[in-house]
Amino acid sequence: MQVVFGVLGPVTAWSDGVPIALKGPQHRAVLARLIVARGRVVPVGLLVDDLWTVPPPGAVGAVRTFVAALRRALEPDRPARTPASLLVTEGPGYALRALEVDAWRFERAMSSTATLPPQEVLARLEEALDWWRGPAYADFADAPWATAERSRLAELRLHAVERQAEARLALGLAAEAVPGLDAHVTEHPWREDAWRLLALALYRSGRQGDALAVLRNARTRLVEQLGVDPSPALRQLETDILNQASHLEPGGAAGQVWAQATAAYDRAVASGARARLESTVGLLRNLAVTGAGGLEAAREHRLAAVKAAEELGDSELTARVIGAYDVPAIWTRSDDQEQADQLVAAAERALTALQPDQRAAKARLLATIALESRGTTRERGPEAAREAVRLARQLEDPALLAFALNGLFMQTFHRAGLAPERDQIGAQLITLSARHGLTTYEVLGRLIRLQARSALADWARADEHAAAADQLAERHELPLVGVFTQWYQALRLAAADEPGAEAAYRQAAVRLEGAGMPGLSNGLLSLALLSLGSKEGQDWGPYEPWVKLDLRKVPDPPRDLMFEAMWSLIARAAIAADDQAVMRRAKAALRPAAAELAGAGSGLLTFGPVADLIQSLDHHMSRNP
């Protein structure tokens, strides 16, 4: 007997396809509350509190009666006095076991579309969306215990509708996508991605005027009713439609080649073939450098690919899947630290299973560990980076060496004043990449040198590297590069004390919106404005402990590109509070960077010459030795 529970609408249950009669709202409420718990035990006292605003006398007994009735309904053939197998008693409460819930099946269907071709995505989502019979937990709309789950499932359904539209657009079915999207934005007018998809579908259906009207409608609603401007993506789409940009069209020779090649791959390679995992990682690697949604999608699905490889029990495949994601990284704070830790753990497990002669795979795993350990205090990161570079040089593999050097760069923040060392790494990457056609690593080398020369106030050389990075990005369609070079231009104005610096920072922050790099963007604009002397910042993100300082327990800054900037904030606060002990700590930390500009090694902002700050520390410490 298979019991299936339905919550995508009113709460229901079926046994082998036959509806189960649930007596009364209290029985359904108990069942729904246990489903929300996802197999965890719900104490009887909590059930009482959730079922009644003011529990009546005998509420505990009533709950037990409801549970007994539910057990009879769910397992009518269970012999008397034998333990229940579905609705079980554990400790202080009850739990549902061996659950099959339509909402969970819907979630699995959504996750499975991540790497499927558009044809299969469309078919799978059409089937999954048909499972909905109304709002999730429809008969418990006012129950506080259901609120979070109802909201989560509602958001997942909206995302599925938009993914379905994306699949139709990818298949050239723009006209078919319009009616559903039109209804979607009418019901959910604050979803900017829905407006974007509707405008694109109209444009591809030959309705340019209607597409522009949709975007104007979206802008009016957002501005007049929410007081916010349309996102950069919506504004860019309007510009592209006005210009009839060629990239808005799904076809063309490139599109046809892609469609034909992917169709041939689907026919030739079995859906469960291990080769698909490696192919997926290759796609994710290319997707990551496109920025915005591409970077976020790559980050989301990369770990899933690694876990899938591990589940197959093939250590060599797992090592290849982990090591194949050699996406150049310039920012030293992880966008998702929890995921980074899981990737490091997976790489360590794969390392233990490698054979001694698998040196290239070992080097890639070590480089991955070095990259994903960025910003941490673990000694494993620097050790892995050095060993990866050593192995790559022995193997004389240029691409592998570039990957390993990226890992080494990420591990050069254990103290202040290491801009010259990073500059050398950048120079090696540029030379290596130019010789072997490794474009993305040449861009990385340029950005590393931009940062290092900024730290040393060598603006002429930094300008050269910024211009070279922009040229490479334009030639090879690498939009994320412009995020960093635009912030660098704002830094140039700030370092020269030019009046346009604040405006430049605000414009650069707009460019950063939706770029898919929360590790970079969180708190950055506020910090940049603070470097200009502005107190307007509210969202300090990860920098709050060093902006809103408690000198009695201020932590050492993370080992990243903001290391000197955070120490400069500590030093300033210590001077203002005349805290001799913290002033001594700050001076010791900053002394190796005496020839640098504090924070400029980020290529984003600066708090001025470190030498001036050390001089100020010396002055205040000498007054009160």
pLDDT digits (tens, 9 = 90+) for 116-172: 778 888 999 999 999 999 999 999 988 899 999 999 999 999 999 999 999 999 888
Looking at this protein, which amino acid is placed at residue 157?
Answer: R
Mean pLDDT, range 44-50, rounded to an integer: 90
Taking a C-beta distance cutoff of 8 angstroms, is the pair 319, 340 a contact? Answer: no
For 89, which DSSP code?
Answer: E
Q: What is the pLDDT of residue 112?
A: 79
The Cα 519–Cα 530 span in angstroms is 19
Q: How confident is the model at residue 467 (pLDDT cuts 50, 70, 90)?
A: very high
Straight-line distance from the first to the last Cα atom of the chain, in angstroms, rounded to the nearest whole number: 82
Q: What is the pLDDT of residue 549?
A: 87
Question: Which tokens sit at 443?
Answer: 């861009």
The closest alpha carbon to 60, from 93, 85, 22, belongs to 93
Model pLDDT for residues 254-305, shown as the tens digit of each residue: 555 555 566 677 667 776 778 888 888 888 888 777 655 677 778 888 988 8
Mean pLDDT, range 63-91, rounded to an integer: 86
The Cα 375–Cα 372 span in angstroms is 9
Q: H helices of 513-554, where?
A: 518-521, 524-531, 544-547
Q: What is the pLDDT of residue 170?
A: 87
Taking a C-beta distance cutoff of 8 angstroms, is the pair 59, 52 a contact? Answer: yes
Residue with the two structure tokens 């001025």: 608
For 603, which DSSP code?
Answer: T
Q: What is the pLDDT of residue 314?
A: 83
Using alpha carbons only, give the angle 171, 175, 180 rounded to the nearest 5 degrees: 95
The closest alpha carbon to 397, from 372, 366, 364, 445, belongs to 364
The Cα 218–Cα 290 span in angstroms is 26
